[in-house]
Amino acid sequence: MDKLEIEMPLVNKCSKESCGYNNGCGCHAKAITIGDGTNPGCDTFFDSSRHTSETKRVAGVGACKVSVCKHNTDFECQADSISVGEQEGGVKCLTFERR
């Protein structure tokens, strides 16, 4: 199988334990997408009682649609890494900083 390797910031912690990709406070999706323009929500989050069995892979930030974040350049995150967790009633990128 051909594989694509891309450098992207890692999700160093996810405290939203009810997400299907969360295992041991780590996000184990291949990549996540952040935001919808101004809200830095985790678009990849889904509430599930079943969790991924993957524990070795660490998710990267594949895309960020929050152009008002200081870490965003051309809809891609430039932070070293991010944290995701519950904030203001939603699951959000906690590394978000408004320009």
What is the domain extent for residue 34?
10-82
What integer pLDDT is reported at residue 4 of this predicted model?
A: 83
Residue 69 lies in a domain: yes
Count of domains forming the chain: 1
Q: Give residue 3's pLDDT.
A: 87
59 within some domain: yes
Q: Is residue 36 part of a domain?
A: yes
Return mean pLDDT, the chain. 96
The pLDDT of residue 33: 98
pLDDT digits (tens, 9 = 90+) for 26-61: 999 999 999 988 899 999 999 999 999 999 999 999
Q: How far apart (Å, rounded) are the C-alpha atoms in residues 32 and 19?
A: 12
Strands 60-64 and 31-34, how do they pair?
parallel
- pTM comes to 0.92
What number is the average pLDDT over the span 69-81? 97
Distance CA 89, CA 58 (A): 25
- Structure tokens belonging to residue 37: 């323009």
Decide if 3 is inside a domain. Answer: no
Cα three-residue angle 7-46-82, rounded to 5 degrees? 35
In a domain, 29, yes or no: yes
